[in-house]
């Protein structure tokens, strides 16, 4: 069974530029999550989707971050404009339902200069 | 409020030593779930175990074992006869059933270095 796929794996941009990350969850998983992991910290949830609806985006900086999950499968996370403090690993995870185990992708390492 | 504390920032051991990673959690919910994930240098979070709050049985999987004690709100992880491949950052996480979201609340992680 294929795992969670993410791309790109690495991205370097300058501040004020925009960037987008893509995630393809495990087939059949209805719930998709985006987490931000700053160096030396544990991951923190940015947004959770159930199918193509948003369940929780309370920690998403909505002035610069946006996310969508078209057709309830793939998802994209966008940052526009990026700030230095957005440098982090962005992890996508999926699960088969409420409080089921979340399986993570390899992450996208973002460096904002 | 939900919180997970991993007080050990970094642990170094020599191969074949046993090592225990501590995890203490806080929650007001009676139904919750605890997890351990491994994050090797490649960066991917690898799922190790999931336990619910009603199952306090200890679990063993090969060289890995977990001790869940509700009385002390702890969910500790022991690696027996550690190997170099065990070197990674290990995260303990908490998820609650109540509310709309089942987001994971992670601790700050414990970096384990196993030297040959």
Give the pLDDT confidence of A55-85 residue by residue, as tens digits.
999 999 999 999 999 888 999 999 999 999 9
> pLDDT band for position A2 (50/70/90)?
confident
Rounded Cα–Cα distance for residues B103 and A72 (Å): 18
Window 24-43 of A, Cβ < 8 Å to B:
31, 33, 35, 40-43
pLDDT in tens, B63-102: 999 999 999 999 999 999 999 999 999 999 999 876 777 8
Q: Is the Cβ pair A99, B44 closer than 8 Å?
A: no
- Residues counted in chain B: 116
Residues in chain B closer than 8 A to A103 (CB atoms): 47
Q: Which residue of A40, A56, A107 is in closest CB contact with B101?
A: A56
Which pLDDT value is given to residue B80? 97
Which pLDDT value is given to residue B5? 97
Please list the residues that pair with B5 across neighbouring strands.
B24
Please list the residues that pair with B11 across neighbouring strands.
B112
Residues in chain A closer than 8 A to B106 (CB atoms): 42-44
pLDDT in tens, A41-57: 999 999 999 988 999 99
Q: Is the Cβ pair A107, B93 closer than 8 Å?
A: no
Residue A98 contacts B where some CB pair is shorter than 8 Å:
yes
CA dihedral over A109, A87, A23, B107, signed as positive or negative: positive
CA of B56 to nearest chain A CA: how many angstroms apart? 18
Torsion angles phi and psi, residue B10, rounded to 5: -150, 140
Q: Best of B29, B102, B108 to disrupt the A interface by mutation (most A CBs within 10 Å)?
A: B102
Residues in chain A closer than 8 A to B102 (CB atoms): 31, 48, 95, 98-100
* C-alpha distance from residue A21 to each of A65, A69, A75, B93 (Å): 11, 12, 8, 25
Rounded Cα–Cα distance for residues A42 and B24 (Å): 15
Which pLDDT value is given to residue A100? 84
Residues in chain A closer than 8 A to B49 (CB atoms): none
Contacts 24+ apart (CB under 8 A), B72-77: B72/B24, B73/B24, B73/B25, B73/B26, B73/B27, B74/B22, B74/B23, B74/B24, B74/B25, B75/B23, B75/B25, B75/B34, B75/B36, B75/B51, B76/B20, B76/B21, B76/B22, B76/B23, B77/B20, B77/B21, B77/B23, B77/B36, B77/B48, B77/B49
Q: How many CB atoms lie within 10 A of CB B40?
A: 13
Q: Which residue of A44, A100, A107 is in closest CB contact with B43?
A: A107
Q: Establish whether the linkage from the previous residue to A8 is cis, with ω within 30° of 0.
A: yes
Tell me: pLDDT of A90 over 90.
yes
């Amino acid at each position: 069974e294929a795992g969670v796929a993410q791309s790109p794996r690495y991205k370097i941009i300058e501040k004020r530029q925009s960037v987008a990350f893509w995630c393809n969850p495990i087939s059949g998983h209805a719930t998709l999550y985006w987490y931000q992991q700053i160096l030396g910290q544990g991951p923190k949830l940015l947004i959770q989707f159930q199918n193509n609806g948003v369940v929780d985006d309370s920690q998403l900086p909505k002035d610069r971050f946006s996310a969508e999950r078209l057709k309830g499968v793939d998802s994209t996370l966008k940052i526009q404009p990026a700030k230095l403090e957005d440098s982090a690993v962005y992890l996508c995870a999926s699960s088969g339902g409420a409080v089921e185990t979340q399986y993570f992708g390899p992450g996208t390492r973002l460096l904002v200069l | 409020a939900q919180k997970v504390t991993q007080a050990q920032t970094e642990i170094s051991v020599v191969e074949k030593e046993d090592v225990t990673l501590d995890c203490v959690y806080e929650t007001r919910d009676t139904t919750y779930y605890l997890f351990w994930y491994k994050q090797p240098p490649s960066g991917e979070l690898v799922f190790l175990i999931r336990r619910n709050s009603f199952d306090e049985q200890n679990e063993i999987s090969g060289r890995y074992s977990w001790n869940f004690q509700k009385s002390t709100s702890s969910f500790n992880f022991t690696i027996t006869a550690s190997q170099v491949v065990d070197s990674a950052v290990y995260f303990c996480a908490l998820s609650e059933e109540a509310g709309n979201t089942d987001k994971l609340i992670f601790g700050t992680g414990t970096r384990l270095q196993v030297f040959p």
